[in-house]
Structure formats: structure tokens, C-alpha cells
Amino acid sequence: MENEGDWTCDANDAVNITIVQSDEQKLKTLSSFHPQFTYPIFGDDEQIFGYKGLIIRLRFAAHDLRPHLHISYDEKFKPVGDTAASDLLKILKPWVSEEAFCTLPDYEKAVLEDKDGKDFKPPGKLVHSYTSRNRNYEIWAGSLADADVRRVLDRAQVFVSLFIEAGTPLDTDDPEWTLERWTVYFVYEKVKPPTPTASQYSIVGYSTTYRWWYYHRNKTQAPVVKNDPFPPSTEIRPAQLPARLRIAQFLILPPHQNSGHGRHLYTTIHSACIDDPTVEELTVEDPNEAFDVLRDSADYQILRPEFLKHNVNINPDPYEVHSRNQRPWLVPTATLIPVKLLHDIRKSYKIDSTQFAHILEMFLLGQIPLKNRHAGGFNMSRLLIKKYRADDPNERRYYWWRMLTKQRLYKRSKDILIQLDLGERIQKLEETVTNVEEGYEVLLKEFTAREQSLKVLEEAAEQTESRATAVEDEANASPSGTLGRDQRVKRKFTVEDDDEDEAETEDTAKRTKV
């Protein structure tokens, strides 16, 4: 038998995803890219046997994600005994909607002659709009109980397996009361249609959120009566019940990544939580490292102004309000940081406690001068000797910052740490808090660089505006009202960071709170 290696290809290379749009007489390709994962479909090895020159092309209409599957190859392995080429149609059928298995001419005709394409609007309602790099985008949100939302999401489900590690497609056949717990957010770019009948919308990404029931009772709430013979006649819908909102899936397609869309999508979801009185807090289901960075960045930008407004910082001298004979690890947290104030801030911004602790620790670390931190070359052995008795208040703040972080880490991993000897336990905590600090330093460095870049651009824009104003004043003062060519030319600046354009166009009905 011919060498099997000659008939094996990488599934990630073989699968090609194409976003298309109707043009004059044929489909226009807007973007083309490969998946990040194919192991849910083709197995852990992500290998396909039995073909040479294999291309599995998944096409999606840019506006409504109408799918099409087209398989081509140069040569197919002829069966030898029990060895045969992979049955690609059988493998792909559970992952791609049934409508994708039509012929290519039929698919092209359906997209080109789509009578509803011109008037297509994303399902749900418009909740946010913005401009980035001179391109316009919109975010639409709708309940999964809406058939239009469900249809677009069903077509996009395969993206979950191809781009979200360990991601699981949603079951949209659930009862309506379950579907009502889900909200889907679609991100679309508004593009110039190539023909009068083409749609002006092109998919960028999407996210799904789920409402988990949250038991919450206070003294003003009446107790629930079991087996009540006279139950309330009004039906209570899931959206009326207190809940934790959980982000389940979150995806920006590869052609649009690293352009700020993820932050817009996340802050839009967060804004919806703040505006919804039934939502207690926003959580995330199994976030990966990339999403953690996005979330930390967005939440930091949301909470930092609030921390600064209330002058949140570590009290370097807690012994002024507590017994000096108290050992450091027994000093109450409330003497170091304003616990009640921070609790109120967390509740008002509906950020879960673990995430809030991360952002608070990062902020408090950033309030300590770099020279007094490990990243700035601070002598850690000196800290171990001086501890809270150091002469410099910022050194004392740094000591207490490490104590606060160790406290959180110990509470989180107490069951494991108590099994270790005291010396090993202290060592593990020291190593862990140092790793956490290094991670915070990376993010703080990025935040500082971004702020400085924006500040420089804003100052340049202000200077340009001042010069333009001076030129206009001179023109108004001129008897003839005219200027030479050099004076009439005004330089234009766009205030834009590496990820997104800060000069956003907000939807007035739903403004993201940052």
C-alpha cells in the first residue's frame, strides 16, 4: 500500500473560511482565513486521511451568514481492505447546517438574487454604534427566543468549534423559557454595498450571554409560600428574575481582530448589565488568556476613574488606627483599604468579586512609584527586613500590597496550602504573589503606554486646532478676507490608539459606560 503519510493532510490548512458578498454577476470575497482548531471535528490529531490537494471551503454570506460547503481535491485514495478515505460529508454534517449542502451554482444564485438582502438588518435591536479607523460598526442584541436571532446564530455555530478552544455550540431547540435566558450580541460593519440589491452589513463577530438565577432576598421581600392555593396569576418571565449574567461565547473573526471590536462588545454587554436592575453581576464562563487580557483592560478603564475620584489607596500606617502590637497578618483589612466604599463600587458596576479584586490589586500596585516596586529594581531583601517599619511610606504601601494579595491568594487556595508545611506554604505564596505582580506589571505598562500615546495625539490635535483658529482669526481680520495658499491648508489629525479610534460615534439610545 502506498505510504499513508502521502495521503494525510493538516485539517487546519485544508479548511478555508470565506466571507462573501453579492457583486454584479458573481460573489465577491471580503475575507478568507483558516480555523484555529479543527480537533472537535476531525479528532485530536487534526489530520484528514485519503486526499491530495484537499480544500474544504466554507462560505458565509456577509450579512445573514447563509452557509455553503464545497469540497475539492486533486486525488482521492482508493480503498484497500478496511482502509478508506475519510467520509468528509458524514463528518461535517453534524457541524454545518443542512442548507450548506447545496450545489455551488444554487448557492451563488441564492445569494445574488436574495430579494431581502438590500433591506437586511441584523436581528434584534441596535444597542451601540461606533467608528473605528474611519469605518462604521454597529452592535445588535436580541433574545435567542427570536427566530431571526436563532437562525443567524445557528449558521454561526460552527465558528465556536473552529475558534473557541473547548467551545460547545448552543442547543437552540430548548423550550422558549430557556431560550429567553440567552441574549446574542452581533457586531456588524456597515459597508458600501457593491450593488443596489446587496446588503450594507458585514459580520465582524458575536457573543452570547446567559442569565443564571440569583437567589437574593432582603427584609423587604415577602417569603415564598410553598403549595400556595392562590398563586399569582401573572406569569413571571426569566428576564424579570434576579440573575447573574454570564458571557458564554465571545468571538471576533480573525480579519477583524486587534482592532478594538472586542472591547466595544464587552463594554456594551457590561453597560447592558448596569442598565438592567435584575442583573446582579457580570461573570464569564471559562475565559482564555486572550479574553482575560481584554477583560482586565476594559474593566481597568471602567474602574480606574472611580478609584481616582475616591482617592482609593493603601493606608501605609494602619497601626495609627489599630494596636501596634498586632501582628501584620492579623491587621484588619479595613484599616488598609476602604472596604465599604470598594464594596459599593463593585456592586454599582456589577463586577464579580474575583475580577474586582484583580483590578483593585492592579490599580493599587500602579499607585506605588515604580522605584518602590520589584519591577523597578526595588531591593526585596530590604522589604523582608524593614517590612511595615520602612521609612518611606511607599515602601510600606508595597509591603501591605503584597500582604493583601497574599490574603486573597491564600483564601482561594486554602484547602491546598494548609496541607503544606509552614515554610513551604510561605514560599509558595511568595512565588505566586510575585507571578501575579509580574502579570500586573505587563498590563500596567501597556495601559501607561496607551495613555501617553493618546495624550501626545490629543496635545497635537489641540495645537493644530489652536493654529487653525489663529489662522481663521487672521483671515477674519484681513480686509480682503483671503489668504495665501500656505495659510489656507489645515493639517488634520485623527486621535487613534493602536486598537481603536477614540473618536467614537455613540448610539444615543444606548451609550457604553466607561
Domain ranges of the chain: 4-116, 296-319+332-462
d(Cα 30, Cα 22) in Å, to the nearest integer? 10
Please classify residue 154 by burial: count the beta carbons closer than 10 Å to its beta carbon, then call 0-12 exposed, 13-18 middle and 19+ buried.
middle
Concerning whether 285 is annotated as a catalytic residue, the answer is yes
**Cross-strand pairs, 69:** 58
Residue 120, C-beta contacts closer than 8 angstroms, at least 6 positions apart: 63, 64, 199, 201
Q: How far is CA 380 from CA 314, 373, 397, 409, in A?
A: 19, 9, 14, 20
d(Cα 144, Cα 180) in Å, to the nearest integer? 6
d(Cα 274, Cα 270) in Å, to the nearest integer? 6
251: annotated binding-site residue? yes
Residue 349 sits at φ, ψ, to 5 deg, of -95, 0
Query: Which pLDDT value is given to residue 197?
Result: 87
CB atoms within 10 A of CB 216: 12
Q: How many helices (H) and strands (E) does the chain have?
A: 15, 14
Long-range contacts of 131-135 (CB under 8 A, 24+ apart): 131/501, 131/503, 131/504, 131/505, 132/259, 132/260, 132/261, 132/264, 132/500, 132/501, 132/504, 133/259, 133/496, 133/500, 133/501, 134/494, 134/501, 135/189
Please say whether the beta carbons of 365 and 404 come within 8 A: no
AA identity, residue 395 = E
269: annotated binding-site residue? no
Query: Which pLDDT value is given to residue 130?
Result: 97
* DSSP letter (8 states) at residue 501: B
Query: Which pLDDT value is given to residue 461?
Result: 60
Query: Which pLDDT value is given to residue 215?
Result: 76
d(Cα 486, Cα 471) in Å, to the nearest integer? 11
Short-list 163, 212, 215, CA closest to 183:
212
CB atoms within 10 A of CB 311: 9
Residue 29 sits at φ, ψ, to 5 deg, of -85, 120
Query: Which pLDDT value is given to residue 198?
Result: 92
AA identity, residue 205 = G
Write the pLDDT tens digit of every residue in 77-132: 999 988 999 999 999 999 999 999 999 999 999 999 998 899 999 999 999 999 99
Please say whether the beta carbons of 281 and 350 come within 8 A: yes
**Which among 99, 108, 180, 285 is annotated as catalytic?**
285
Q: How far is CA 331 from CA 181, 340, 508, in A?
A: 44, 16, 48
Short-list 410, 405, 407, 383, CA closest to 394:
383
Instruction: Give the DSSP letter string of 193-219.
Output: -SSTTS-SEEEEEEEEEEEEE-----T
Strand order in the sheet with 182-190: 125-132, 135-143, 182-190, 201-213, 243-252, 279-284
Ranges under pLDDT 70 in the chain: 1-5, 216-234, 321-326, 454-455, 457-514
* DSSP letter (8 states) at residue 98: G
Write out the CATH class of domain 4-116: alpha beta
Please say whether the beta carbons of 161 and 37 come within 8 A: yes
Q: Are strands 279-284 and 243-252 parallel, antiparallel or unpaired?
A: parallel
Write the pLDDT tens digit of every residue in 257-306: 999 999 999 999 999 999 999 999 999 999 999 999 999 999 999 999 99
d(Cα 470, Cα 474) in Å, to the nearest integer? 6
Grid cell of 109 as nine digits:
444564485
Could you tell me the pTM of the whole model? Answer: 0.83
